Amino acid sequence: MNRHLISAADLDRDDAIGILDTAEELARAEGRPIRKLPTLRGLTVVNLFYEDSTRTRTSFEAAAKRLSADVINFSAKGSSVAKGESLKDTALTLEAMGADAVVIRHPASGAPRRLTDWVSGRVINAGDGTHEHPTQALLDAFTMRQRLAGGPDRHGRGLDGVRVTIVGDVLHSRVARSNVLLLATLGAQVTLVAPPTLMPYAVDTWPCRAGYDIDAELRKSDVVMMLRVQQERMSAAYFPTVREYRRRYGLDSSRMALLPEHAIVMHPGPMNRGVEIAAEVADSDRSTIVAQVANGVTVRMAVLYLMLGGAAEGSA
Amino acid sequence: MSEEWLVKGAAIVGGEPRDIRLKDGIISEIGTGLAAAGATVLDAAGLIALPGLVDLHTHLREPGREDAETVETGTRAAALGGFTAVHAMANTEPVADTAGVVEQVWRLGDQAGYVDVRPVGAVTVGLGGKQLAELGAMADSAARVRVFSDDGFCVADPLLMRRALEYVKAFDGVIAQHAQEPRLTEGAQLNEGEVASRLGLAGWPAAAEEAIIARDCLLAAHVDAALHVCHVSTAGSVEIIRWAKSKGWRVTAEVTPHHLLLTDDLAGDYDTRFKVNPPLRTRGDVEALRHALRDGTIDCVATDHAPHPVEAKETEWAAAANGMTGLETALRVVHKAMVDTGLLDWAGVATRMSIRPAAIGRVSGHGNPLREGAPANLTLYDAAAGETPVDPAAHASKSRNSPFAGLPLPGRVHSTFLRGTATVLDGKVTR
């Protein structure tokens, strides 16, 4: 594996499957009475969050703590960051604290990549601007494999031939970027569906298909992933009204009925119920939304374990 | 005290070796086997003599951002790059939108004495795009401003642009436009294309430059005024300018050295040295710009030298300042991009880096072919010096944000003369 996890493209197929398999093993450990593993004892993981994201931060925090790492939460609010300290100076501070890994969430695309120039520890991208969110893609892939490739023989397997349709604001979605790259690495066939205004420029250079017709794609999907659409996109003329967006791209019960019987519905959260996804769809049996959250912790444990486990042994 | 030089055996714009005598600020004699006759002899065998380079687009940062550059350090960098005149852009703090500020910049240049500093006046008050600055007062000032630009910002209001183009006709001025449609580039970070899309950076579409250039060409034609297009960066812009020129309209254009050599894929690791406005484009754009510079569609090279302190670039991409230094590398980049590729000979370089920019900027005393009686503004360039990597730490500019750092470039500026006085000898400033 690469030294850092900035992009889903940093993972080759073996890396990605290794993470999923490790997550499976850790999930089994979760079932045992002792939930805490000693693997990362003595190592420090810093959660450096420049954006409010309770769900991702607590997921990483739980993952690190279950591996016995020391966790420092460093958030933009109430710290020197709010006083205008630069990312570099913050990085040097974390370096002085002896951070073995920095988990960073930042509103600017590329901030995690810049951070790698200034810290000696591992850097894990927990979402940067409209760039990537690789651990979200890993937990999504884990969830897909769990639901679609059931049974013990899924160990070592990718997602070959699985048809995944990602719907919504792809242009601004770091989740979509990471999923396209990771799912392609794992052999899935990805199709993006969005209004043309929210489809990235030069999407034809991405390892996926792209289209505008959700109904046609749903009929041939094993997975449909709905992306959050922000209402403020309306003011920038990406679409006329929320009502029209919902009508053309929202997933309601009648659209869900177009899916093959085995297909699952995913959403990275937080959801806009009644906009991109109807409440009855979000709460249906096909929805994996709650499972995604639970899987987030185990997949992040696997990432920390594989990236830092060697460091812990070396320091022992 | 007037210096007297005998430059021995220089190839004038790449021609046969000649001796050039510099006396009383002019080229007093050109020949072969000239006697020193009291002059200091400079052995220029193997060197190319070019008319002193003229930059239409330099950010000297003074007054206001002396942490990035001063007139003193910026003009020293210019002389080391082979320049004898530079146009100092108006986006200082305070903005050069009054006679007072342009005279201050002009005097600072005069005192530094490395190159002639020609201040550019702002088109609108405070670069605000709302109200015309006192263009006439700047034109009549001691700085004799002829080029006006809100560079950094586009004069986006079409009516204001039309009025500015018309108004400066009274004193033979030219409006140099930073062509960037503001609504189409809100939050824009990098050329809208495959790279920006992958990196999740907001795109800067080529159409946002081309739309303004097309509009401005039509306005310039309508009022028969002089339009200069700053830092052309796209293949589409080239097509529009070619069309406007074919109509006989008074449109001129410049291209920067970095747009002649670098492409947007360099931003792949979010290295902020490559953040610039207009952004680096694609290989196809670079090819179109090179050919446009060769065929004259683009008149000249201008550096857009934009120094920034370290902290302005040591940030995440979106927070980083736009701009790159360029004075000390311009001629070497043009050598690599245009001469080594066979697109231009040295006479062609002289036209595009001295003669045309001096004419567009209405700079008297510069941009003259090297002939007897011409002002002794010239640059000696060692084109045979092998490629050496660019080292920004060695630059005279106060800033280090060169996109060419570590890149091997051919050639070396040997000496620069301003009105017969050596400002640079053997690659070093004379004082």
Instruction: Give the contacts of A58 (CB within 8 A, at least 6 positions apart).
Output: none
CATH number for the domain spanning A147: value is 3.40.50.1370
Residues B293 and B425 in one domain: no
> Has residue A252 been placed in a domain?
yes
Residues B43 and B56 in one domain: no
> Has residue B122 been placed in a domain?
yes
Q: Is-contact A56 A105, C-beta < 8 A?
A: yes
Mutation test of the interface with chain A: which of B270, B282, B311, choosing the one with the most A Cβ atoms within 10 A? Answer: B270
Averaged pLDDT for residues B222-235: 98
CA distance B202 to chain A (A): 9
Residues B182 and B267 in one domain: yes
Chain B residue whose CA is closest to A199: B197
Residues A139 and A187 in one domain: yes
> Has residue B322 been placed in a domain?
yes
Burial class (CB in 10 A: 0-12, 13-18, 19+), B184: middle
DSSP B95-149: -S-SHHHHHHHHHHHHHH-SSEEEEPBPSBGGG-SSSB--HHHHHHSTT---EE-
Residues A144 and A165 in one domain: yes
Bridge partners, residue B86, by sequence: B55, B117
State how many domains chain B has: 2
> Has residue A169 been placed in a domain?
yes
Residues B180 and B302 in one domain: yes
Domain boundary among B360, B383, B412: B360
Cβ pair B197:A86 closer than 8 A: no
Q: Taking 90 as the threshold, does the pLDDT of residue A77 lie above it?
A: no
Averaged pLDDT for residues A116-138: 97
Portion 152-191 of B in contact with A at CB < 8 A = 189
Mean pLDDT of all residues in chain B?
97
Q: B49 pLDDT band (50/70/90 cuts)?
A: very high
Lowest-pLDDT choice from A267-281, A302-316, B397-411? A302-316
Positions of A marked catalytic: 55-56, 83, 105, 133
Cβ pair B270:A88 closer than 8 A: no
ipTM above 0.90, yes or no: yes
Q: Taking 70 as the threshold, does the pLDDT of residue A48 lie above it?
A: yes
CATH number for the domain spanning B339: value is 3.20.20.140
> How many angstroms separate the CA atoms of B61 and B90, rounded?
9
Cβ pair B318:A86 closer than 8 A: no
What pLDDT, on the 0 to 100 scale, is given for residue A315?
42
For B95-148, how does the pLDDT look when each residue is reduced to its tens digit (9 = 90+)?
999 999 999 999 999 999 999 999 999 999 999 999 999 999 999 999 999 999
Range of the domain at B390: 5-48+374-429
Tokens of A263: 């297909």
Q: Taking 70 as the threshold, does the pLDDT of residue A313 lie above it?
A: no
Domain boundary among B313, B331, B360: B360
Cβ pair A108:B194 closer than 8 A: no
By Cβ distance, the residue of B202, B270, B311 closest to A113 is B270
CA distance B95 to chain A (A): 26
Residues B74 and B190 in one domain: yes
A51 lies within 8 A of chain B by CB: no
CA distance A51 to chain B (A): 15
For A210-257, how does the pLDDT look when each residue is reduced to its tens digit (9 = 90+)?
999 999 999 999 999 999 998 777 778 899 999 999 999 999 999 999
With residue A291 as reference, give the H or E element that holds it.
Answer: helix A289-315
The closest of A206, A214, A208, A216 to A188, measured between CA atoms, is A208
What pLDDT, on the 0 to 100 scale, is given for residue B293?
98
Domain boundary among B311, B329, B360: B360
User: Would you call A287 helix, strand, or coil by DSSP?
Assistant: strand
What pLDDT, on the 0 to 100 scale, is given for residue B358?
98
What pLDDT, on the 0 to 100 scale, is given for residue A120?
94
* Catalytic one of B55, B97, B150, B304: B304
> Has residue B368 been placed in a domain?
no
CA distance B153 to chain A (A): 22
Residues A160 and A302 in one domain: no
> Has residue B106 been placed in a domain?
yes
> Has residue B70 been placed in a domain?
yes
Range of the domain at A72: 8-132+293-315
Cβ pair A109:B194 closer than 8 A: no
> Has residue B270 been placed in a domain?
yes
Cβ pair A109:B317 closer than 8 A: yes
Q: Taking 80 as the threshold, does the pLDDT of residue B264 lie above it?
A: yes
A86 lies within 8 A of chain B by CB: yes
Residues B35 and B64 in one domain: no
> Has residue B365 been placed in a domain?
no
Q: Are strands B378-382 and B227-229 parallel, antiparallel or unpaired?
A: unpaired
State how many domains chain A has: 2
Portion 136-165 of A in contact with B at CB < 8 A = none
Bridge partners, residue A103, by sequence: A47, A124
Q: Is-contact B62 B71, C-beta < 8 A?
A: yes
Bridge partners, residue A191, by sequence: A165, A209
What pLDDT, on the 0 to 100 scale, is given for residue A34?
63
DSSP B411-426: -EEEEEEETTEEEEET
User: Would you call B204 helix, strand, or coil by DSSP?
Assistant: strand
Cβ pair B203:A201 closer than 8 A: yes
Chain A residue whose CA is closest to B318: A108
